[in-house]
Amino acid sequence: MALGDDRAMRVGFIGLGIMGSRMAANLARAGHELTVWNRTRAKAQEFATAHGATVADDPAGAAERAEVVVTMVVDGAQVEEVLLGPQGVAEAAPSGLLCVDMSTIAPRDARRIGAALAERDVAFVDAPVTGSSPKAQDGTLTIMAGGTAADFERARPLFDAMGEVVLHVGELGHGQTIKVINNAVAAVNTAVVGQALLTGRAAGVDLEALERVMAAGSGASAMLALKARPMREHDYATLFKLEHMLKDVRLCLDTAADAGASFPFAEQVERILAAATDGGLGERDFAALIEIVEAEQGTRL
Ligand code: NAP
């Protein structure tokens, strides 16, 4: 439902990929006024035609009239480039601008970018998301935000339009820390579900029965629900790119190392995802990791 004019915000939105295009569409549907920029301009134009947004020529153009700029690109280098690089957001930032990065990037990059923006009087919140494109589409993402409570509250109307579970999890960078730990768990769990299915297949049990029992009991997980079927059918239509999952698992391993912790299961799944990327599966859904698990066991589901 559209907001009344008093609650509508002027939003710059940067990055209209699988996730960003759907999240920005929910902001437009909620009545916010969008100026969008995307590296591949045609996608921005297509979005603007469908949702009534303005297309900017560069990231600075998306910022010049904005109260909040949202970024949804791939990694820390890209966030830094669009916010702080040439023709970046900081060059045109109106006084009091708030930047909200919803990409998944290294926690230490989020802190560094936040400090650089603070020097230019621009506020920053890291607010990564979980839930793949269907939840981005429905506006039911889980959003975990790090930053000050005041900045979180400023962004909350936007979060409410994009998410269902919206949490202020702590200081700047803690959103990303929680996100990369979560994604490492999802990747490990997907590989475990694949190995379980292969074990069931080898033992000759009915895989439908195995899946139903696990789903109803202590073997249940979001990855069982979402990835067992694509793995069994070798259907890797992309909801979440495998190369992005590899990025996130590596970010988790770096975060663990920085904290003096170890995460050996994440190390194992990093090896599987790296082998899948080397095998040309990086742009497919991360369910494609089953190809490596199968190759290692010399069998197929
Ligand atoms: P995607 O479909 O690959 O979209 C990436 C976006 O970043 C596109 O708009 C792309 O522009 C832009 N981009 C790429 N390289 C760029 C550069 N050098 N400079 C400026 N913009 C650049 O990825 P996605 O699935 O939407 O994921 C976006 C972020 O959300 C990632 O950090 C990912 O880890 C995270 N995430 C994804 C999911 C998911 O299920 N898909 C879930 C949670 C979090 P072009 O159109 O020009 O390529």
- Residue 244's H or E segment, with its range, is helix 242-259
pLDDT attached to residue 3: 58
pLDDT attached to residue 4: 54
**Segment 155-196, tens digit of pLDDT:** 999 999 999 999 999 999 999 999 999 999 999 999 999 999
Q: Is 15 in the pocket of ligand 1 (CB under 6 A)?
A: yes
C-alpha 254/C-alpha 260 separation (Å) is: 10
Q: What would the two tokens of residue 58 be? A: 């560069």
Residue 135 annotated in active site: no
pLDDT attached to residue 7: 77
C-alpha 205/C-alpha 23 separation (Å) is: 42
* Ligand 1 atom closest to 104 (CA): 32
- Average pLDDT (101-124) is 98
Q: Is 82 in the pocket of ligand 1 (CB under 6 A)?
A: yes
Contact (Cβ atoms closer than 8 angstroms) between residue 244 and residue 15: no
**Segment 215-248, tens digit of pLDDT:** 999 999 999 999 999 999 999 999 999 999 999 9
Across all residues in the chain, what is the average pLDDT?
97
Give the predicted TM-score (pTM) of the model: 0.96
- Residues 135, 179, 227, 247: which is the catalytic one? 179
Q: Residue 277: which region, alpha, beta or left (left: phi > 0; alpha: psi -120 to 50)?
A: alpha
Q: Is 78 in the pocket of ligand 1 (CB under 6 A)?
A: yes
DSSP 94: P
Using the predicted structure, report yes or no on whether residue 2 has a pLDDT greater than 60: no
Phi, psi (degrees; rounded to nearest 5) at 146: -115, 140
Which domains, and CATH codes, for the chain? Answer: 10-172 (3.40.50.720), 177-297 (1.10.1040.10)
Pocket probe for ligand 1: among 16, 19, 182, the residue whose CB has the most ligand atoms within 8 Å is 19
1: confidence class by pLDDT, cuts 50, 70, 90: very low
The CA 258 to ligand 1 mean position distance, Å, reads: 26
pLDDT attached to residue 132: 87
User: Long-range contact list for 157-161, CB < 8 A, 24+ apart?
Assistant: 157/3, 157/7, 157/9, 157/30, 157/32, 158/9, 158/11, 158/27, 158/32, 158/68, 158/70, 158/100, 159/127, 161/26, 161/27, 161/29, 161/30, 161/32
* Ligand 1 atom closest to 130 (CA): 43
